[in-house]
Structure 1
Amino acid sequence: MIRRRLAVAALALGTLLSSPAAWAESLADTLVGAYRHSALLDQNRAVLRAADEDVAAAMASLRPVLQWAASHNFQQVDGAESVSTSLDLNAQMTLFDWGRNQLAIDIAKEQVLATRESLVAVEQDVLLSAVQAFLDVRSAEQQVALQENSVTVLTRERQAAQDRFDVGEITSTDVALADARLAASRAGRAAAQGQLEIARESYRAAVGRGPGRLDPPPPLPKRPASLATAQDTARSSHPTIRQTKRTVAAAELGVAAAAAERNPIVTGSVGLGTSRSSGDAAIGGVATRRTQDPSTLRAGVQASQTLYSGGRLPAAHRRAMAQRDSARSVLLNVSRQVDQSVAVAWANIDVARAQIGAIDEQISAAQQAYEGVREEAMLGARTTLDVLDAEQNLLQARADKITAEANLQLAHYQLLASMGLLTVEHLKLGIPTYDPSAYYNAVRNAPYTSTQGENLDRVLRAIGKQN
């Protein structure tokens, strides 16, 4: 009998632990889910891999180009037929271009580094959206519970008003007021439940699954000692600033590349060809069939330079300088925007803290006032409307505190994001992260051999498993 009870208890415990609603989901779990299931991150990882291939394409310009060509022709003229077949193998390579191709490689590398920073910025956006979705669901659940409690309290108040009306202590107007406030509370409960459903759908979109039972948020992240320190950190760590710096570097190289377009270029070529031709020919009045099989080997060096382009090359040079100046201005503007976002998040933290302190005092006073008004109403010194107003003031104060606490949590994570620190690595979520260098290292030398191709296949399979 005892063994049977233990077995039943173990089965019940296993069912409880396997149920999705049996365990609470922390904010860290939410962030991990968002990171692993974000289609936006997958999209930008593919954009980064495309940028990696630009480096491979630029690197290929330093290598020879090998091509083959084959042709087969038939011709008939005045009854005489001829057939020719040819096969050519050609190799061409840039021997010297005064750094033009190397500049193209350096530009592609800077663009890769800029795209990597863009991926970090997207990661921050994904994680911040997950934080907001988590806090929104938590707040909505608390608001629903608060409205449920309000309906319960007002139901009791309405019944008390009816009892007092039955004994002639109050008029039907007081009962009508209680009915109206109870109906309004029920409408507020319906609105809160609707907001909860909206918050759950936002959570599903941000994390890739619906929310379960959510844990309270963890302790607030530690913020820097001062606003100036936070802004200094942001200027060196924020991915948008780092991305823009790489864009400026690429623009600087673009000016040099535009100037190099005016330089000469030296190329070398080697070719091997073979052909076979046959045709009818008349020799001594007798038609005969002649066949030729010549082979050729060609090699040469060519040098060329544009002496006059109609103004195209100077215009391209000036355009590159204008793009460089534009990139520098973007960097200055981005730095100012990051400073502003840090200051705004910092101010939001201070405001939320001050609000919570004041609301705590408001709740304490409203609770005391509500209890006092109820006692006085029972003695006939207060009206039903006074009791309902006191209850509404207490309800609003508690609702405001829920909002202020969520705003405080969100402001701390917004500060981390504005400083460039809202990443899986900095938050120490303890999960494998996407390695942006793995694919780059596999393709940067423009692989073409079987061994390099196999290494690239392994990287692609690993990326597919991570996605």
Structure 2
Amino acid sequence: MTSMRISSGIRSRAITMAAALAFTSFTAVAAGAETLADALVSAYRNSNLLEQNRAVLRAADEDVASAVATLRPVVSFIAGVTRVSPAPAFGDSLSATVSLAAEVTLWDFGRSQIGIDIAKETVLSTREALVGVEQEVLLGAVVSFMNVKSASQSVTINQNSVRVIGEELKAAEDRFAVGEVTRTDVALAQARLAAARATLAAAEGDLAAAREAYKAATGNYPGTLAAAPKPPALPKSVEEARAIAQRSHPAVRQAQREVTVAELGVAAAEANFGPTLTANARATLDDNGDDDYAVGLQLTQTLYTGGAKSAAHRRAIAFRDASRSALLQTGVTISEQVGNAWAQIGVSRARIEATDRQIRAATVAYEGVREEAKLGARTTLDVLDAEQDLLDAQADRIDAEASQQIAIYSLLASMGLLTVDHLNLGIPTYDPSIYYNAVRGAPATSVQGQRLDRILKAIGKD
């Protein structure tokens, strides 16, 4: 009997050490571990979504070039052959002509310039949309990083739980062999061990899913992940955070640009009622060597369109009103997001403090119940329940820590500050002005575009 109690005491000390190390071991950082900054950089460099929206922005840049081109002359080459069929006695005849024609708009009541302004504002709006996509990509990297981190910690906890309950089962079997406990105690330990193994399998499945999500977000599978870094500085109050969001969030800035576009659309619809003055020139050469030239001015004014222009004007006014309302609603939505993220940070901090106290208390309770069980004052079920309480507290602590980190970066995103530049990640970023400056003058060749493509590829892959 004495030797059995000594053996049980050795096992108990081993179990105590394992339980104590289970949670603290999560903070150890292996050399060369991947940091959150590494994940953010990988997400930025490997995002297909960012590449897609950069291409959308370049298409919007080309709309500026197209609008500028409307103010330039249009030169046409015309070649024609005409068959003339006179009276049968004279037979058919063919004549050929070659013409060069040019036409330029001199004045169109401001429609062309308004079109250029609309295209430019659309470019600025699309740039803000690209910033919004960048925030989504980076927040996705944060979420995937924290999910992998917490999932791997959960696996470690459950692996430890399986080991601890396995030791409890051995102790119960030994005590049953000498008549200290009943077969019921052994069965309870066996059932709890089977449940722990099932929970471990589920945790391993969650980790596998989190790893796949990490690869989708960053372009590669995670290695050993470092501890979450010290979060960026946050505003002192939720009111300050909301004020920053209303000034900086890309959705708000995009909505402001869209209001400007809609107002310009109303101006364009009004200008569409005005006349157009064009100049034209034409030079023609026929197959007899005869040539002629013509130069002229043409003023056109549509008098009646069946109400189409009036309808277009009313439609533009409706779109302007809708865009103004959309701007107001965007501000409301962003303010709500800031408030939610701010509240979540507070909740997570409180959860962390509470679970830390819970873990300390559960550890003391677990050790005490186990010691009392050795003296016969507690049952095997009491020990298993205490161990489960400690496991639940550790799991809650992991979830609270992950939730806090995600809430902090969600707050940055809701303020419009979750960008590579603001986070100081130290990598080359996509400069939307490069392509715009190359094409805004509507160049007729593709040489500049080819050169620009090489520059963009270098920026995107460095």
Whether TM exceeds 0.5 here: the answer is yes
Which residue of the other structure, out of 244, 248, 251, is the alignment partner of 1:237? 248
2:181 corresponds to 1:170:
yes
For 2:416, the equivalent position in structure 1 comes to: 420
Report the 3-state secondary structure (helix = DSSP H, G, I; strand = E; otherwise coil) of the residue aligned with 1:214: coil
Instruction: Report the identity percentage.
Output: 56
For 2:299, the equivalent position in structure 1 comes to: 303
Runs of 4+ displaced beyond 6 Å = none
Task: Give per-residue Cα distances to partners, 1:2-56, cap 9 Å, x unaligned.
Answer: xxxxxxxxxxxxxxxxxxx972111111100000000000000000000000000
TM-score after normalising by structure 2: 0.91
Which residue of the other structure, out of 261, 265, 270, is the alignment partner of 1:250? 261
For 1:264, the equivalent position in structure 2 comes to: 275
Which residue of the other structure, out of 62, 72, 79, is the alignment partner of 1:63? 72
For 2:14, the equivalent position in structure 1 comes to: none
CA contact (8 A) 2:109 2:272 kept: no
Quote how far apart the aligned CAs of 1:444 are. 0.6
Report the 3-state secondary structure (helix = DSSP H, G, I; strand = E; otherwise coil) of the residue aligned with 2:95: strand
For 2:36, the equivalent position in structure 1 comes to: 27
The amino acid that maps onto 1:109 is K
Quote how far apart the aligned CAs of 1:306 are. 1.4
The amino acid that maps onto 2:100 is L
Mean Cα deviation higher: 101-110 or 77-86:
77-86
CA distance in 2, matches of 1:362, 1:328: 51
Which residue of the other structure, out of 150, 155, 164, is the alignment partner of 2:161? 150
Quote how far apart the aligned CAs of 1:84 are. 1.4
For 1:440, the equivalent position in structure 2 comes to: 436
Q: Which runs of 5+ in 2 are unaligned?
A: 1-29
CA distance in 2, matches of 1:98, 1:73: 39
Quote how far apart the aligned CAs of 1:456 are. 2.9
2:121 corresponds to 1:110:
yes
For 2:144, the equivalent position in structure 1 comes to: 133
Task: Give per-residue Cα distances to partners, 1:182-241, cap 9 Å, x unaligned.
Answer: 000000110010000000000000001111111111112221010000000000000000
CA distance in 1, matches of 2:182, 2:309: 93
CA distance in 2, matches of 1:446, 1:363: 67
For 2:339, the equivalent position in structure 1 comes to: 343
The amino acid that maps onto 1:217 is A
Report the 3-state secondary structure (helix = DSSP H, G, I; strand = E; otherwise coil) of the residue aligned with 1:85: strand
Which residue of the other structure, out of 427, 430, 455, is the alignment partner of 1:462? 455
For 1:201, the equivalent position in structure 2 comes to: 212
Task: Give per-residue Cα distances to partners, 1:438-464, cap 9 Å, x unaligned.
Answer: 00001111112x5xx433321122113
For 2:349, the equivalent position in structure 1 comes to: 353
The amino acid that maps onto 2:186 is V
For 2:195, the equivalent position in structure 1 comes to: 184
Aligned residues between the structures: 429
> When you count strand as a share of all residues, which structure comes out higher?
1
Report the 3-state secondary structure (helix = DSSP H, G, I; strand = E; otherwise coil) of the residue aligned with 2:284: strand
Quote how far apart the aligned CAs of 1:466 are. 3.3
CA distance in 1, matches of 2:458, 2:282: 46
Mean Cα deviation higher: 258-267 or 308-317:
308-317
Which residue of the other structure, out of 361, 365, 386, is the alignment partner of 2:361? 365
The amino acid that maps onto 1:226 is S
For 2:406, the equivalent position in structure 1 comes to: 410
2:81 corresponds to 1:72:
yes
Which residue of the other structure, out of 361, 370, 373, is the alignment partner of 1:374? 370
CA distance in 2, matches of 1:338, 1:366: 41
1:310-325 equivalences under 5 Å are 310-325=306-321
Mean Cα deviation higher: 200-209 or 301-310:
301-310
